[in-house]
Structure 1
C-alpha cells in the first residue's frame, strides 16, 4: 500500500509540473491544430478563385498547354508544377519565384496570383514551430508533444478509480454541470480528458513520428518493418537520345494522361505533375490523394515507364509502410473524411482546454494550502484565549 501511494505521488507530481511547464506550448499547438483541421473547407469559402464551374474530364487542358498559356499571360513567369485538384476546382501552379498561380483547368485563364503568406500559413507556422525559427521551433514543438504524451499516460493513471463503485463510475464518466465552479472545472479536465484520450494519443504519436526519426523508426519496427529506407537517389536508365523541350512537354502530358486513365485508383482527377529541370531528370507525378495519403510516382522521360522508386498503391503496402504513408492522414483527421475531421476538431479543442483547466486545479489547491496555516493560527489563538 505504501509503495502504491509513493508511486501515485510521483505520478501526480510529474503530471502537475510537466503540465505547468508545457502548458502554453500545448495550448498553442492544440488550438492551431484545431483550426487547421478545416483549412481546406474554410479556404473554399474565403477564396472564390479556388472553384470553377465543373465540365467534362476530357475538357481539361493538358499540363503543357496550361503552362504555355499561363506563361504567356504572365511574362517572365516559369511554371514548375501543376496541381489538378478536381473537375470543380482551379489548378494550382508553382512558379520559379515561389508565387502561386491559380488558373482554370479548361481555359488556363489566370484566376489569381498569390504572392503573400495567408492566415493559414501563419497558423501553420505556429503549429509546427510556435513561430520560432524552424530549426529551434521544430525541437520545441517535438519535445512539447512528447511531454504531452507523458501527460496523457499519467493522466490516465490518475483518472483510474481505486475501486469501481457506482459513485466512482459516475464521477469518472459524467460531468456535473450544476456543480460549483471548482467541481465543474475538475470534471471538465478529468472526464473530457478521458473521452478525448484515444484521439489525443493518435495525434500525439503521429506528431512524434513527424518530429523525430527515432520515433518513426520505432513505430515502423513495432509494426513489423525491418527498416525505414531513406529517400533513395533515383537511378536514371541510359537514354537513347537527348529529349528536346517539345519532347519533354509531350512526355509530361502523356504521364498526366496515363496517371488519370491507367494508374490512379482514388480521386482520379486530382493529380500533381512536375516539369523536369533537364533531360536526365525523371518526371514526377502524384496521385491517389485520398484520406490524407498520396502516391509518389517517377517516370522515365523516354519510355514513360514507372521507375523502381515509385510507390505502390497504399492498400498493397505492409502494415508498417501503410502506417508511415497514412501517418499524415491519421494526424490531421483526414483518414475518414468529414466524420473524422469533426471528431479530431472536438478532440483538439478538449486537448487545448486541458492546460487551462489543469492550471485552475493547481492554482485552487495552491491557494487552499496558503489559507490553511492562517486558519490553524486563528484556531490555536482562540484555544489559547479560552484556556487563559
Structure 2
C-alpha cells in the first residue's frame, strides 16, 4: 500500500515596501509620545468639556438668577447700588460691579472678602452671598494646572498641549488613506459598528479623530497662545501686532460738564457706555469705582460670544484714553486674535451651536489616548505567524 504523498506548495506573498524614515518617525512619535502625554491630555480634555458650559450650569443652579422686574422699573446706577448694598452689608467694600442685563442680577466682587454679592439691579436688595470658590474653581485648577503647584502644573499643561498639537498632525498622516478608492474611503470616514470590538476601537480612534481634527487644532492652538508667552508674541507679531505705547493719550474728549463727585462720574460713564458706546448686549457692563490713588475709571462692554471691549476714562475729565480697545470689527488682525482667543478656545464664538460642537470634540479628545493605547496593546498581543512572508500549504494525497 502506497504512503500518502504530501506536497508542499510555496505561495509567494506580496511584501509591503519598507516605510520611509520620516513615516517611521511619524509612527514612533504618535505612539510613544502619545502614550507619555495620555493622562494629562485626558484630564485637560474632560475638564475643558465641563468648562464650556460653566456659565450656563451656574445660572441653572441659582434659583434667584432670574430677577423679577417691577413695573416701569429701570436698572439703578452704580452709585445707588453701592449705597444700598452698604446699608445691608456695611462691612463690605464695594468697588467692582457687573450688570448681567435685563432680568438678571448685578454681581459685586468686594475688595475685602472672598464672597460674591448678587443684588437686584432694580431695588438694590441683596439676593445672595456666594463663595467665590465653587466646583468650577476646582475644575479650572485641573484644566490649567492638573491640581499641581501653579508653576509646575502650568508647564505640564502647556507642554502637554504642545505635544497634543503635534499628535494631531501625525495622526492626520496616519489617517490619510493610501488609496482613495471606495473601500479605503469608506474605512476612513465611517465606523463599522457590526465589527469586533478591536475594529470598532480602531475606527473610533481614526474616524472620530478625523471629524474633530479641526476643532481640536483650534483648541490646542489657542491653548498654546495662553500657555507660552513666546508663542503668543510670535503669532501676534506675524499678524502685525506691536507693543503698546507707554504714553497714554486722549482719543475722545470728555463731556463739557463733568460731575463734581466720583459717584456722579461713575454713573455718567455707566450711562454713556450702556446707551451710546456699547455695540453688543448694551445692558451688560462691568464697571469699577477707582481706587483712592486711581487715575482712570474702568468699564467693560460688548461682552458677546466670549469677547469683550475694555474702556478707560480719565478720572478728572472723563476723556476716553488710548489704552481703551476699539470695536472688535475695526481692530487689527493681531488685536482681534488676542481678544478672540478665549472665545475660540471654548467655542463661544458661534453661540450655543459651536459650544456644543466644542463640548463633544473635547470628549472625543479625551478618548483618543485610551483608544490609541488599546490599538498599541492589541498589536503587542498579536499572535506570531500572521506576518507577511512565504506561506506553506500542505496538501495530502489519497
**TM-score, normalised via structure 2 length:** 0.87
**In 2 relative to 1, CA 54–187 (structure 1 residues): closer, same or farther, beyond 3 Å?**
farther
Residue 207 of structure 1 corresponds to 223
| 2:60 pairs with 1:48 | no
What residue number does 2:381 align with? 367
CA distance in 2 between partners of 1:311 and 1:95 (Å): 26
SS in 2 for 1:101: strand
The structure with more helix, counted as a fraction of residues: 1
**Structure 1, gaps ≥5 residues long:** 238-244, 377-388
Corresponding residue to 1:12 among 27, 36, 44: 27
The corresponding residue for 2:3 is none
Instruction: Show the 5 A alignment for 1:26-37.
Output: 26-37=41-52
- 2:93 is matched with which residue: 78, 94, 97? 78
* Cα distance in 2, alignment partners of residues 116 and 262 from structure 1: 32
Query: Does the 8 Å CA contact 2:114/2:132 hold for their aligned counterparts?
Result: no
The 1:117/1:34 distance shift into structure 2, 3 A limit, reads same
Is the strand fraction higher in 1 or 2?
A: 2
Counterpart secondary structure, 1:164: coil
* Structure 2 partner of 1:147: 163
Aligned pair in 2 of structure 1 residues 234, 104: CA closer, same or farther (>3 Å)?
A: farther
Task: Give 1:295 deviation, angstroms.
Answer: 0.4
Of 175, 196, 213, 1:159 maps to: 175
Greater RCO, CA 8 A, separation 6+: 2
- Pick from 144, 151, 156: which aligns with 1:128? 144
Length, aligned pairs only? 365
Q: Which runs of 5 or more residues in structure 2 are unaligned? A: 1-15, 252-258, 388-398
Q: Deviation at 1:2? A: 6.9
1:210-246 C-alpha deviation (Å, 9 max, x unpaired): 1111111222133x3143448x585799xxxxxxx97
Q: Contact 1:49/1:102 (CA < 8 Å) preserved in 2?
A: no
| Root-mean-square deviation over aligned CA pairs | 2.4
Quickly say closer, same or farther: Cα 1:31–1:326, change in 2 above 3 A: same
Displacement after TM superposition at 1:300 (Å):
1.1
Is 2:382 the counterpart of 1:346?
no
The structure with the larger Rg is 2
1:303 — aligned with what?
317
Q: Per-residue CA shift, 1:256-307, capped at 9, x if unaligned?
A: 1110011000000100001101254200000000011100100112221111
Question: Scaled by the length of structure 1, what TM-score is found?
Answer: 0.89
